[in-house]
Amino acid sequence: MKTKTIFACTKCGASHPKWQGQCSVCEEWNCLEEIDVPRANKQIGSDVSAGYSGGVATIARLSEVRAEANQRISSGMHEFDRVLGGGLVPGSVVLIGGDPGAGKSTLLLQMAGNLAQQSSCLYVSGEESIQQIAGRAVRLGMANASVELASLTSVGQVSELVQKERPSVVVIDSIQVMFADEIDSVPGSVTQVRECAARLTRLAKQLECTFVLVGHVTKEGNLAGPKVLEHMIDCFVMLDSPPGSRYRTLRGVKNRFGAVNELGVFAMSDRGLREVSNPSAIFLERSSEPAAGSVVTVTWGGTRPLLVEIQALVDDVQGGYPRRVAVGLDAQRLAMHLAIMHRHCGISLADQDVFANVTGGVRVGETAVDLAVLVAVYSSFRNRPLPRDLVVFGELGLTGEIRPVPNGQERIREVQKHGFTRIMAPIANRAKRPIAGVEVAFVKSLSDALETLSNMLD
C-alpha cells in the first residue's frame, strides 16, 4: 500500500507536512507524531467503501429533499437519551469519553441490556474478556439479557461481524485498543485510532447501524488520540467523575442532532449506574450551619434548570501575586468580575487570594452565574454568612450592570419548587405578576446588589 508521511498534533489533531517543534495551530510544544496515511483512501478498507467509488455525483435541491424524521433508538435511560438529544440516531457514531473508572463500560453494558429487549445490540470489548463482562452483568442484575458479546481488537474482524450480524447498535470498548492490520503502528496511536474510527464511521453510514465508541481521556484532559476524531463523529459526550464522589455527570460536547448543554446525572451504586432525576436535590446537600462564602444559584442546562451551590474563599495573599482560582467556573471571568467590583463598588481584593468552586463537581459554563460568584466572594470577604434561603442569578456586564438571563421565569419557578424564599435576579427578568411565596429582589447594577445584600447579611 502506498503511504505518505505526515505529522499530526496529538493535542488538536492538525496535520503538518513537516516536523516542527511547535504545532502552529494550537501552539503546543513537542506534540507532533509521525504518522503514515494512505495516499488513496480506496485501498484502505475497500470492503466498506465499495460502492462509493466510481459513482457519478449528483446534486439534490434542498427544497425537494424530504427531511428524515429522525426516529431515535432509546437507550432505556432517560438521562442518557436527553444528553443525546432524545436517543440514539440510527447510522450515527457516538463517542463517549471519560477517565478510566468513570463508569463508561458500566453505562454502556446497561444500555446494551436495555436495547437488547427491543432490538439487537453487539457489545465488542477489546479490554475485557467475555467472562469478565458476564461477571459485571451479574452484578448489574442483567445476566439474562440477550446482549451479543465479542472480545475483539481487530477492526477488520469487527466489520465482518457487523456486516454478517447486522445489529442495530454496536458498542466498541474502547477505540484505543482497536487496530487495523494494514497499518503498522501500535493501537492507541493517532494513526490507528484515526483509521479505525474512519472505518467504523463509514460502516455506520453504510449499514444504518449506530456505533457507540468508548475513548479514554489522558491526564491532561485530552482524549488520547481521539481528539483527532471529534470532527468525524456525530456526538461526543463526556462522563465526568468528580474525585471521591459517587455521582457522575454526562454532558454533551458535540451533537449534530441536538443541544450540547444538556446534563445527565447518575449515581454509581453497587448495582451499576442509577439515574438521578432530581439532581438539584443532591447538589444542594449542604451542612445545616450557615457559612460565609456559600450561595445557591440556578443554572440552565439545556432543557431544564439545575440548582447548584457556589462557594468562595477569600484570604490574605500567601506570598507573591494574589491568586484567582476557579474550579468548575471560568477563571478569567472571575478575574474580570473582581475588576468590576473594584472599579464600580470600590472593593479591592488586590491583597487577597480568591478561590471559587461549584460543589458536586459540576461545571458551569453560563454567564448567569456571574452574580452568584461575586456574591459568594463578597460574603467570604466580609466573613458574613448569607441567608440560607437565598438564591442568586444574573449576568454581570463590564459597566457594572446586571444583565438579564434566558429562561428567567423558569429559573424562578424551580427555585420556588425547592422551597427557597428569597431570590436576587436581574431587573430585566422581572415577572409581570408577583410570584407566590418568594420574595424577589430585582437588581440593576452590582452596587445595587451589594447594597441589598448588606441589609441581608446576619
* Contacting residues toward Mg ion, per CB under 5 A: 105
Nearer to ligand TYD, 220 or 270 (CB): 270
The whole-angstrom separation of Cα 37 and Cα 194 is: 10
| Residue 248 site contact among Mg ion, ligand TYD, none (CB < 5 to 8 Å, cut-off depends on kind) | none
Contact criterion met (CB below 8 Å) for 17 and 6:
yes
Query: Per residue in 289-306, is it b (16+ CB within 10 Å) or e — as a string?
Result: eeebbbbbbbbbbbeebb
| Residue 312 site contact among Mg ion, ligand TYD, none (CB < 5 to 8 Å, cut-off depends on kind) | none
Q: CB of 100: closest distance to Mg ion in angstroms?
A: 7
Nearer to ligand TYD, 98 or 293 (CB): 98
Q: CB of 4: closest distance to ligand TYD in angstroms?
A: 36
Please give the span between the terminal C-alpha atoms of the chain, in angstroms, as a whole number: 76
Nearer to Mg ion, 77 or 450 (CB): 77
Q: CB of 188: closest distance to ligand TYD in angstroms?
A: 15
| Residue 103 site contact among Mg ion, ligand TYD, none (CB < 5 to 8 Å, cut-off depends on kind) | ligand TYD
For 386, the grid coordinates are 448569607
Nearer to ligand TYD, 105 or 189 (CB): 105
Interface ranges with ligand TYD (CB under 6 A): 98, 100-106, 136, 139-140, 268, 270-272
Q: CB of 360: closest distance to Mg ion in angstroms?
A: 24
| Residue 39 site contact among ligand TYD, Mg ion, none (CB < 5 to 8 Å, cut-off depends on kind) | none
For 169, the grid coordinates are 447498535
Nearer to ligand TYD, 214 or 354 (CB): 214
Q: CB of 173: closest distance to Mg ion in angstroms?
A: 6
Distances (CA, A) of 384 to 97, 292, 342, 381, 456: 41, 5, 19, 8, 10
For 347, the grid coordinates are 472593593
| Residue 72 site contact among ligand TYD, Mg ion, none (CB < 5 to 8 Å, cut-off depends on kind) | none
Distances (CA, A) of 428 to 72, 194, 329: 39, 49, 24
Nearer to ligand TYD, 264 or 394 (CB): 264
Backbone torsions φ then ψ of 33, nearest 5 degrees: -125, 135
| Residue 229 site contact among ligand TYD, Mg ion, none (CB < 5 to 8 Å, cut-off depends on kind) | none
| Residue 279 site contact among Mg ion, ligand TYD, none (CB < 5 to 8 Å, cut-off depends on kind) | none
Burial class (CB in 10 A: 0-12, 13-18, 19+), 332: exposed
- DSSP 8-state assignment for residue 368: G
CA atoms within 13 A on the CB side of 119: 19
431 SS3 class: coil
Nearer to ligand TYD, 48 or 237 (CB): 237
| Residue 270 site contact among Mg ion, ligand TYD, none (CB < 5 to 8 Å, cut-off depends on kind) | ligand TYD
The whole-angstrom separation of Cα 335 and Cα 193 is: 39
Q: CB of 97: closest distance to ligand TYD in angstroms?
A: 10
| Residue 271 site contact among Mg ion, ligand TYD, none (CB < 5 to 8 Å, cut-off depends on kind) | ligand TYD
The whole-angstrom separation of Cα 368 and Cα 330 is: 12
Q: In this chain, which residue has its C-beta nearest to Mg ion? A: 105
Nearer to Mg ion, 239 or 377 (CB): 239
Q: CB of 440: closest distance to Mg ion in angstroms?
A: 47
Q: CB of 124: closest distance to Mg ion in angstroms?
A: 12
Q: CB of 212: closest distance to ligand TYD in angstroms?
A: 12
Nearer to Mg ion, 196 or 443 (CB): 196
Contact criterion met (CB below 8 Å) for 396 and 340:
yes
DSSP string across 29-66: BS-EEEEEEESSTTTTTHHHHTTTTTPPP----GGGSP
The whole-angstrom separation of Cα 443 and Cα 403 is: 9
